[in-house]
Amino acid sequence: MAATMKDIARQTGLGLATISRYLNGGKVKEQNRAAIEKAISDLQFTVNEFARSLKTSKSKTIGVIIPELNSTFVATIIMLIEDILRKSGYGVIICDCSTNETLEKEAVQFLVRKNVDGIINMPVCKDGSHLKPALDKDLPVVLFDRSIANLKDVVDAVVVDNVRAAEDATRYLIENGHRKIGIIVGPGDVFTSRQRLAGYQQAYEKSGLEYDSSYISFSDYSVHGGHESMNRLLAEHAGMTAVFVTNYEMTLGAIIAINEAGIKLPKELSIIGFDNLQLSQVIKPRLTIITQPLEEIGEQVASRMLERLSGSGTKEAGIVTLSTRLQLGESVQKQN
Amino acid sequence: MAATMKDIARQTGLGLATISRYLNGGKVKEQNRAAIEKAISDLQFTVNEFARSLKTSKSKTIGVIIPELNSTFVATIIMLIEDILRKSGYGVIICDCSTNETLEKEAVQFLVRKNVDGIINMPVCKDGSHLKPALDKDLPVVLFDRSIANLKDVVDAVVVDNVRAAEDATRYLIENGHRKIGIIVGPGDVFTSRQRLAGYQQAYEKSGLEYDSSYISFSDYSVHGGHESMNRLLAEHAGMTAVFVTNYEMTLGAIIAINEAGIKLPKELSIIGFDNLQLSQVIKPRLTIITQPLEEIGEQVASRMLERLSGSGTKEAGIVTLSTRLQLGESVQKQN
DNA sequence: CTAGAAAACGGAAACGTTACCGAAATCTAT
DNA sequence: ATAGATTTCGGTAACGTTTCCGTTTTCTAG
């Protein structure tokens, strides 16, 4: 049905090897080049990627495993990665593992069976054991958002300096005179949660102040969770003057809770949120937030992967740490 | 390196054809079956999908083209679809086309070149011309959220009854005594926007009332847009007693605007939102919303696709229309 | 026990590329 | 004009399956 290289060879009188060479960017005499191009367009030839894959063992496809698609942070990064990889001819197969380690492990197996050329992963499993099938096959792996200590010399990782981010936010609040600062963090066993909490604690320590651990509220990175945590903090700490919320969804939930309680920002409570510039501009007063460099994360992840794939990236695997930014709004009130 | 069927044949003394038959669920004598299974596990054999694809011309991969990943509605549905298809061995390649018709067309070409076995699409292009390359190759196509009139006998589509949904919401407001009802809809040229607006108008007409078109605010389905539209409506219509917001992101923006303005829900303004049960429960008062059956949409899309793929779905293509639900909360106040 | 039907098997030809490597064509310089 | 160097070319053997279809084995029934 569809034209093959053989048909091109027949029409041009050239050999298969020459057609193949042309198709793969090799040198071909100008006049042959023209003949091949004409034949290709006459016959509407397109390379059969199946046959090509069989020979090269490359699928031009890469797998992406994430805990949950339904989060702006994740969705935005996936969009960026997908866009870049597609421009290089790579298809991106998404696997959502519902923050479930078993599903995550199965996803790796699934992708390896599907012969992806590489795996991008925002890992749920902490020790990286789920990636074994991929590493055994020498597939390039790039992690993002969270790194895995065991694997730090084996796979690339792109993360932000979460400790620094949280420290910046907390220090800013302290510098503005706040002493009783609440923090809403994610699950206690998640890399980013721990780091962000550490930054909060560090800011207190460096200022020679002490924090009260009852001002720390563990949540689950969801809108609902943020709402709940904020209500709890408000109920338990009448003296609290500021809250730092450590991801977008929880920030949203917290804002809603504050509004419901009729608390005026920033007069009665100062707040620093996380991510999503867009939301921060919509809210009045404009929210002061920590922003992660989403574009840069996406770009770094994609380009690490492309480097590994092209084999050009001979330099050893490593962690890329990007900086966050404290984007000032008007949601922090100077305190005396 | 990796074991092939030939190795299995050698170890078991059977022919290639028999191994193949076994692998594809054919009948094999019990004792041979056992021998093959032993060999497979001894040699850690796995089928080479490239070779299989070359023979069968099937990639066990399906493409999904969406306007924008970064929206709960889309992300949730993708998650559901991906989950179901993966269980049937299909990988899902995502293409985000940024609500851009040119990119959407390129995405179709990209996926066709990548030999996907089918395409799932939430279409941006209104006449369906972008799908030609896929239809020419007789690939099954399933649309969702929006249907395309030109293609209604050619491809399956899964949509909700948007007219009815908006009519339900509007009628409910009217029945509660509201007469000056604002509506925030998406872009005027998008299928769902038009339908939802039509439902609003229809509710007025059926009640023998007239609507004032200045209460209709076109927006862009974003948080920011919803915020802006709500502010505009509030500024221009002091007498407005209720607003119907027609998607999740805009509902969020609208709520934020209302809170900022210090307007009390539902005493001073009634509101009906859209989608996202989770959010509606977080907000106080609990939001009355129109919910779309996301699970069912995802399921229907995936099962339509699987039917077409298995060839079993001989029944002709058609549009599946699902019902929405008016989920009552406490954000609508009876008006006298 | 045996003829005939039914089930299970296996050889070999594809599927459409890529890549090795010896052969042919073209170019350079004297 | 020609030797030698440099390009470019092409025949052919894989890559690892699936499938056609003729052969062998096993089963059934009289």
Nearest nt to the CA of A4 via C1' is C16
Q: State both tokens at B318.
A: 């058609």
| Interface probe with B: pick from A1, A83, A86, A108, most Cβ of B within 10 Å | A86
DSSP string, B26-49: ----HHHHHHHHHHHHHHT----H
B35 touches strand C (CB under 7 A): no
Please report the sign of the dihedral spanned by the C-alpha atoms of residue A294, residue A298, residue A300, residue A301.
positive
pLDDT band at residue A136 using 50, 70 and 90 as cut-offs: very high
pLDDT digits (tens, 9 = 90+) for A183-195: 999 999 999 999 9
Residues 46-65 of A with CB under 8 A from B: 46, 48-51, 53-54, 57, 59-61, 63
Higher local confidence (pLDDT), B273 or A26: B273
Q: Which residues contact B103 (CB under 8 A, 6 or more apart)?
A: B97
Q: Are strands A216-218 and A270-274 parallel, antiparallel or unpaired?
A: unpaired
| Contact criterion met (CB < 8 Å) for B91 and A83 | no
Q: Is the CB of A20 under 7 A from strand C?
A: yes
The pLDDT of residue A95: 97
- The percent of residues above 90 in pLDDT, for chain B, comes to 88
pLDDT, mean of residues A170-192: 97
Contact of A66 with A97, CB cutoff 8 Å: yes
Residue A171 is predicted with a pLDDT of: 98
Collapsing DSSP to helix, strand or coil, B325 comes out as: strand
Q: Give the pLDDT score at B310.
A: 87
Task: Say yes or no to pLDDT of A32 above 60.
Answer: yes
Q: For residue B264, what is the nearest residue in chain A, using CA coordinates?
A: A260
Cβ atoms of residues A156 and A314 within 8 Å: no
Mean pLDDT in residue range B246-264: 91
Which residues of chain A (264-323) touch nucleic strand C at CB < 7 A?
none
* Mean of all residue pLDDT scores within chain A: 94
A185 and A247 Cβ atoms separated by less than 8 Å: no
Average pLDDT of the residues of chain B: 94
Is a pLDDT exceeding 80 seen at residue A278?
Answer: no
pLDDT at B314 (0 to 100): 63
Please tell me whether any atom of strand C lies within 7 Å of the Cβ of B18.
Answer: yes
Q: Which residue has the tokens 């009783």?
A: A180
CA distance A235 to B139: 58
pLDDT one-digit tens code per residue, B143-154 = 999 999 999 999
**CB contact burial A3-34 (16+ within 10 A = b; e otherwise):** bbbebbbebbebeeebbbbbbeeeebeeebee
DSSP 3-state of B266:
coil
Q: One-letter amino acid identity for A318?
A: G
The string of pLDDT tens digits covering residues A37-69 is 999 999 999 999 999 999 999 999 999 999 999
pLDDT at position A277 over 80: no
Q: What is the pTM of this model?
A: 0.94
| Closest by Cα among B61, B76, B166 to B114 | B61
Q: How many CB atoms lie within 10 A of CB A138?
A: 7
Residue A164's pLDDT band, with cuts at 50, 70 and 90, is very high
From residue B243, alpha-carbon distances to A321, B55, B217, B232, B273 in Å are 46, 58, 10, 12, 8
List beta partners, residue A213: none
- With contacts defined as CB-CB under 8 Å, which chain B residues touch A75? 69-71, 75
CA distance A234 to B271: 27
Q: How far apart are CA B143 and CA B191, in angstroms?
A: 12
Question: Measured between CA atoms, how close is B100 to chain A, in angstroms?
Answer: 13
| Chain B residue with the nearest C-alpha to that of A283 | B256
Q: What is the model's pLDDT at position A312? A: 65
Chain A hits for B279, Cβ within 8 Å:
223
Q: Residue B2 above 90 pLDDT?
A: no
Q: Residue A158: which of A168, A171, A147 has the closest Cα?
A: A147
Q: Which of residues 231-290 of A touch B (CB under 8 A)?
A: 252-253, 255-256, 259-260, 278-279, 281-284
Task: Give the model's confidence band at A259: pLDDT under 50 very low, under 70 low, under 90 confident, else very high.
Answer: confident
**B220 by DSSP, 3-state: which?**
coil
Q: What is the pLDDT of residue B335?
A: 87
pLDDT digits (tens, 9 = 90+) for B273-314: 999 877 787 787 889 999 999 999 999 999 999 999 987 656
Model confidence pLDDT, tens digit, residues A194-234: 999 999 999 999 999 999 999 999 999 999 999 999 999 99
Q: What is the pLDDT of residues B30-46, one digit of tens each?
A: 889 999 999 999 999 99
What average pLDDT does range B257-263 have in this prediction?
Answer: 88
Q: What is the phi/psi pair of residue A124, to 5°? A: -100, -45
Pairing state between β A325-327 and A319-322: unpaired
A227–chain B nearest CA distance, Å = 7
Distance, CA of A102 to CA of A97 (rounded, Å)? 8
What φ, ψ does residue A61 adopt, rounded to 5°?
-140, 140
Tell me which H or E stretch contains A47. Answer: none
A57: chain B residues, CB-CB within 8 Å: 50
Sheet holding A325-327, edge to edge: A216-218, A181-185, A242-245, A270-274, A288-291, A325-327
Asked whether residue A119, judged by its CB, lies under 7 Å from any atom of the DNA or RNA strand D, the reply is no
Tokens linked to B277: 């049960």
Task: Look at A283 and B183; give whichever has higher pLDDT.
Answer: B183
Q: Are B316 and B290 in contact (CB under 8 A)?
A: no
**C-alpha A211: how far from chain center:** 31
Rounded percentage of chain A residues whose pLDDT exceeds 90 = 87
A28 touches strand D (CB under 7 A): yes
Average pLDDT over residues B263-268: 92
In angstroms, the separation between the Cα of residue B210 and the nearest Cα of chain A is 33
Q: B226-237: per-residue pLDDT in tens?
A: 999 999 999 999
pLDDT at A1: 65
B88 touches chain A (CB under 8 A): no
Which residues in B lie closer than 8 A to residue A113 (C-beta atoms)? 46, 49
Q: What does the pLDDT read at residue B86?
A: 96
- CB of residue B26 closer than 7 A to nucleic acid strand D? no
